[in-house]
């Protein structure tokens, strides 16, 4: 898990499978990024597996920071299946996530 600043926002990059061991890393990266830059874009386009703990962490982060999520196809399917896609600000690309006008997905 890593993050970097890009203009007025921070980008947190999540890759590979997300499990219990990576949840603390995700939370720490989002918190650090939000502390230094707000809003936060979560580039999860490389996530190959995400369980319920990952979804819980996303929903918690949504209430703590201005968050946009760029999911992988696998993560998008989980978000759609669980209905979480309607609760999160989901974008197709990181570039789209930097368009902060409006609230749709």
- Name the residue with tokens 């990266």: 29
pLDDT at 76 over 90: yes
User: Is the bond preceding residue 12 a cis peptide, omega within 30 degrees?
Assistant: no
pTM: 0.82
Q: Note the pLDDT of residue 105.
A: 42
pLDDT of 43 higher than 90: yes
Would you tell me the crossing angle of helices 52-64 and 20-36 to the nearest 10 degrees?
Answer: 10
How many other CB atoms are there within 10 angstroms of residue 99's CB atom?
A: 10
Confidence band for 52, pLDDT divided at 50, 70 and 90 = confident
Phi (first) and psi of residue 53, to 5 degrees? -65, -35
CA atoms of 62 and 93, how far apart (whole Å):
18
How many CB atoms lie under 10 A from the CB of residue 45? 18
Q: What is residue 71's predicted lDDT score, i.e. its pLDDT?
A: 95
- Give the range with max mean pLDDT: 28-32, 39-43, 57-61, 87-91: 87-91
CA distance 65 to 60: 9
């Amino acid at each position: 898990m890593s993050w970097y600043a890009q203009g007025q926002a921070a980008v947190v990059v999540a890759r590979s499978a997300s499990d219990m061991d990576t949840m603390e890393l995700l939370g720490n990266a989002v918190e650090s990024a939000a502390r230094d830059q707000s809003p936060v874009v979560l580039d999860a386009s490389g996530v190959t597996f995400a369980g319920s703990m990952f979804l819980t962490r996303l929903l918690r982060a949504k209430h703590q920071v201005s968050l946009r999520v760029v999911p992988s196809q696998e993560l998008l399917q989980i978000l759609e299946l669980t209905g979480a896609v309607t609760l999160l600000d989901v974008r197709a690309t990181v570039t789209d996530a930097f368009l902060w006008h409006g609230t749709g997905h």
